[in-house]
């Protein structure tokens, strides 16, 4: 069984890590999910990756209704630092978490989870450079390729993407 009928948001802002946005977007589409690229409120219609690849934004955060989604993925790169400055992004992520929906982040994407105040008391991982940010937000940080705590799923780096997506897909099928 695929992911037909599932709707997933992938957050985007300039300077996203190419693989961490494109791999989940394409892999989830391949499984039959509807994937919506959600950008910052008032942001560009096209976000440019760290290496110059464009991704079209389908919906801005102020128009995204968390009740219509089964989950959200926060890619890394420097984009999460832009994403966490948008109160609409943080509210969207927080509402999904409160609704027991999937909130997944890889690499620096953990910054968004920390700023949305959803990781206190949770086990997480991230890129090692933001370990202190995760711990200061109340998370228990571990160095593992993928960590699932409830519906919060986190990974560290691009080479973790196969395990990250395997966990996301399995959780969507629960």
Q: How far apart are the first and last CA of the chain?
A: 11
Give dist(CA 81, CA 132) in Å, integer: 15
User: Within 13 Å, how many C-alpha atoms sit on residue 137's CB side?
Assistant: 22
Q: Determine phi and psi for 113, rounding to 5 degrees.
A: -65, -40
113-126: string of b/e by CB count within 10 Å (b at 16+)? bbbbebbeebbbbb
Instruction: Return the active site residues.
Output: 107-108
């Amino acid at each position: 069984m695929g992911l037909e009928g599932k709707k997933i948001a992938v957050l985007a802002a300039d300077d996203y890590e190419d693989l961490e946005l494109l791999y989940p977007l394409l892999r989830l589409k391949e499984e039959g999910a509807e994937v919506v690229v959600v950008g910052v409120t008032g942001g560009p219609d096209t976000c440019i990756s760290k290496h110059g690849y464009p991704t079209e934004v389908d919906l801005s955060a102020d128009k995204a209704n968390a009740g219509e989604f089964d989950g959200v993925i926060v890619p890394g790169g420097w984009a999460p630092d832009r994403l966490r400055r948008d109160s609409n992004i943080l509210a969207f992520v927080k509402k999904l978490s409160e609704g027991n929906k999937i909130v997944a982040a890889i690499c620096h994407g953990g910054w968004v989870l920390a700023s949305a105040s959803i990781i206190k008391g949770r086990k997480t991982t991230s890129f090692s450079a933001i370990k202190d940010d995760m711990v200061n937000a109340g998370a228990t940080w571990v160095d593992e390729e993928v960590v699932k705590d409830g519906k919060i799923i986190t990974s560290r780096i691009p080479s973790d993407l196969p395990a990250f997506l395997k966990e996301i897909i399995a959780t969507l099928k629960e």
